[in-house]
Structure 1
Amino acid sequence: MTLREAIGQLFILGFEGHTPSEALKTFVRDLTPGGLILFGRNLGDPEEIAALTNALQVASPTPLFFAIDQEGGKVSRLAPPFTRWLSASAVGAVGSTELTHAVASAIARELMVVGINMNMAPVLDVLSNPANPVMAGRCYGSDAQVVAQHGIAFYRGLASEGVIAVGKHFPGHGDTTVDSHLALPVVPHDVGRLSAVELAPFAYAIKAGIPALMTAHLLLPALDPEHPATLSRRILTDLLRQELGFRNLVISDDLLMKGIADSTHPGEAAVRFIEAGGDLMLICEDEAAQRQALVVVTEAVETGRLSEARVLASCKRIADAKAQHLHRKMAASTGEIRAVVGCDAHRRLAESVGMDDKGS
């Protein structure tokens, strides 16, 4: 693998279209990304999704992470006939981690059958601010222990069917009033409060073995008064790697979100993220920005700003994760897809969440 190909592995990229065009296959072969992320613009019917993931897996020089945001509730990318799941807040309100595990397992079965092997979930944020415009409905609750218990159950449910869980948004987005898609939120709490509330679910999930965490574009002055968490060595290396002992994949939130992009070009943000201790950078659209970011990271290695050893350390974590988790890379047959997606068992499970949440 060349240095350019190794650097490509550090990116999860979004793209346009829902069919495996020759241009899209060339994009994958040329940029050699570690993964691709799917949004509504990429999602046809289940058979079309399977054809897309299969074709791009074949085109890619290395196995691909295929990622999606399938939390349930308002953050659900897959439309019917995929099962419609209630939100994390509704699932958490039932109070059964067994149910949370079952829901995640069912979500994972529907993902895997169409070739999607990574879910940007569970949300491990603690909803301590009910006025939070982004996280309301997406959190398992306002108690750190409850969030940890359900988050771990969700991660294990995904893992039981072969899907990689990505816990988010480290170090905790639950007490914010600003959407990091639009600006940089500030979390003003002291270290004691952060440890007891915001960080606690992540610490428990790390001990439970969660394979990946996503960073938040947040400023936490008590931890680093200058740099957002995504670009902070104090937070990603000193705190996450060393103090909390996390050895698995660290994935950025989208580097085009304004919480980062208003102050830092995506190429520079990518370099700073790697310097801080991150592994996989998410750039969800804009092929020009994606290509430029890859060039900027390559130049940073060539000029000595980033060491080749640092890049290869992340490449090894990525390769190890793929070897451990991507046992079945390809989507299933049409018959199996139709037997799984939106099946009666999943529909009944989804309905049971709604009934329990209503107290019936």
Structure 2
Amino acid sequence: MMILLLIAGCSSQAPSPSTTPNQGEAGTTTPETGGNSINHSNGDNVTPIEEEDPITLKMGKMSIEEKVGQMILAGVDGTELDARATQMIAEQKVGGIILYSNNVSDLQGTVQFVKALKQANAGNPVPLFMSVDQEGGQVSRMPKELLSIPSNASVGKTKSADLAETMGKLLARELLLTGFNVNFAPVLDVNSNPNNPVIGDRSFGSSANQVAELGIAEMKGLRSEGVIPVVKHFPGHGDTSVDSHLDLPVVNKSLDQLKKLEWIPFAAAVQEDVEAVMVAHILFPKLDPDKPASLSEVIIGQHLRGELNYQGVVITDDLSMGAIEKNFELNDVTIDTVKAGSDILLVAHSYDSAKLIFDTLLQSVKDGTISESRIDESVYRILSLKSRYNLVDNQEPTGNVQDLNKDIEAWRKQVNAQ
């Protein structure tokens, strides 16, 4: 049976990072500054009037529970909304949801599931990030009705930024067709280790400059259609010999070595005002001998936020992965990563873990381990990004599956012809 979704809005009109947001934008104001001063003239008298920052105003109406919930992006079970997911959204007030392959059924079912999750969030003051890993190639989560998109390595062989940008647009259109608004892509890891068990063809290649050029092009394609890109996995997962899903990789590179290779694509993304950066669960002993990047104040605070001057949203890789689960306690991890500078804690496979993170953050504020002003910093970034992309939970899926498949097929022919 042919499935057709009618267009409910034009994706070309979606906001991009250069668009002036409706409710404030990260980097424009901060919780501390509060707003911009404007002058109203009355004859010879000029009276400064402070314009309230809408994001700060919104935060002022939120409870600490609602703020803490915004810092959690959680997974769910099954392919339909169940009581546990409903309870998690209502009680932990999570700011986002991630779906994996086992959460995706056919197109109609996936659309309905995403819609139900958004509807379950009606009692909370902020819309959900609805996220997915849709990279193309081996990491593809879309329903079977959509044609597959080749791997980054396939596009990398073409060396074409235009094809990479089109890839980003097609990936975004897939997400918009199913109701998602965040894509954990592009992968900016440089495939410098041929024995890497987890990156491989997920990378655009072994050249840092090529990965930067094509990755940034894909990122621009995603954002041009109104889908939020999340680049990954800072500071670089391309030279590991251990899969962080299974255990903790160790990379014995110096800061100078990282700057000359792994950092290049991420520095380029920061220069292009990337919306969000995912940080990897990798130990870099020469930078921080005790904590992996995702928990490290040295790597997140000093390097990503400090030296690279990144002001956007920082997201951890999944905290239920073996690299973390086998080596650290989740309550300690929760505190460490927030203190390090993370804004969103991704926990994909356990309702209990999402609740533990929520409870730990709440208690840490109550006992002074983490200040509420530190929580406010992250929530301000999160709300600013949601406002920047005009996220709303009642947004209907947009696009036409037949048109999208035709465009994917035409693009694949171009990739294969190079």
TM over 0.5: yes
Matched, 1:228 2:289: no
The answer for unaligned runs of 5 or more in structure 2 is 1-61
Residue 11, structure 1, aligned to residue 72, structure 2: yes
TM-fit CA distance, 1:329: 4.5
The one-letter code of the counterpart of 2:408 is H
Query: Match of 2:87?
Result: 26
* Contact 2:142–2:174, Cα closer than 8 Å, also in 1: no
The equivalent residue for 2:209 is 145
Pairing 1:100–2:150 present: no
Q: CA deviation at 1:213?
A: 0.5
Alignment correspondent of 1:345: 407
Q: Provide, for residues 161-212 of structure 1, a one-character-per-residue CA deviation record: whole Å limited to 9, x for no partner.
A: 1111110000001111011111111111122211010111100110011100
* Segment drifting more, 255-264 vs 84-93: 255-264
Distance 1:144 1:338, change over 3 A: closer
Q: Does 1:119 align with 2:219?
A: no
User: Which residue of 285, 291, 294 corresponds with 2:349?
Assistant: 285
User: Alignment partner of 2:179: what SS?
Assistant: coil
Q: Do 1:66 and 1:118's aligned partners in 2 also have CA atoms closer than 8 Å? A: yes
Q: Shift of the alpha carbon at 1:328?
A: 5.8
- The residue type equivalent to 1:348 in the other structure is A
Q: What residue is the counterpart of 1:324 in the other structure?
A: 388
Contact 1:169 1:215 in 2 (8 A): yes
Query: Which residue number in structure 2 is paired with residue 168 of structure 1?
Result: 232
Matching of residue 35 in structure 1 with residue 96 in structure 2:
yes
1:302 paired with 2:363, answer no
Unpaired runs of 5+ in structure 1?
A: none
Shift of 1:332: 3.5
**1-structure distance, mates of 2:346, 2:401:** 31
Give the Å deviation of 1:134: 0.6
Contact 1:46 1:337 in 2 (8 A): no
User: What is the distance in 2 between the residues matched to 1:264 and 1:333?
Assistant: 39
Matches of 2:159 and 2:297, distance apart in 1 = 37
Partners of 1:311 and 1:256 in 2: how far apart? 22
AA in 2 matched with 1:346: I
1:237-263 Cα deviation digits (max 9, x unpaired)? 111101101000100001111111212
SS at match of 1:250: strand
- Alignment length (residue pairs): 354
> Per-residue CA shift, 1:18-39, capped at 9, x if unaligned?
1234543332122111100011
Cα deviations across residues 129-171 of structure 1 (Å, max 9, x unaligned)? 1111111111001111100001100100000111111100000
Note if 1:252 corresponds to 2:313: no
Contact 2:135 2:151 in 1 (8 A): yes
Q: Identity of paired residues, percent?
A: 37
Kept after mapping to 1: 8 A contact 2:146/2:401: no
RMSD between aligned alpha carbons? 1.6
Q: Higher relative contact order by CA 8 Å / sep ≥ 6: 1 or 2?
A: 2
CA distance in 1, matches of 2:401, 2:279: 35
Letter in 2 for 1:349: W
Q: Give the residue type in structure 2 aligned to 1:289.
A: S
* Kept after mapping to 2: 8 A contact 1:7/1:311: yes
Residue number in structure 1 paired with 2:274: 210
Deviation per residue, 1:271-327 (Å, 9 max, x gap) = 111010000001001111221121111111111110111011101100000000144
TM-score under structure 2 length normalisation? 0.82
**Would you say the 8 A contact 2:127–2:391 is kept in 1?**
no
2:320 partner SS: coil
Residue 137 of structure 1 aligns to a residue in which SS?
Answer: helix
Q: Is the 8 A contact 1:117 1:326 kept in 2?
A: no
Moved over 6 A (4+): none
Per the alignment, do residues 314 and 118 of structure 1 end up closer, same or farther by CA in structure 2, a change over 3 Å counting? same
How far apart in 2 are the matches of 1:207 and 1:249?
14
Q: Distance in 1 between matches of 2:228 and 2:108?
A: 22
Change (3 A) 1:28 1:303: same
Larger helix percent: 1
SS state at 2:76 partner: coil
- What one-letter code is carried by the residue in structure 1 that aligns with 2:212? A
Distance in structure 2 (CA, Å) of the matches to 1:240 and 1:165 = 17
In the superposition, relative to structure 1, how do residues 329 and 339 fare at CA in structure 2: closer, same or farther (>3 Å)? farther
C-alpha contact (below 8 Å) 1:50/1:332 kept by paired residues: no
Are the aligned partners of 1:53 and 1:330 in contact in 2 as well (CA < 8 Å)?
no
In structure 1, distance between residues paired with 2:75 and 2:84: 14
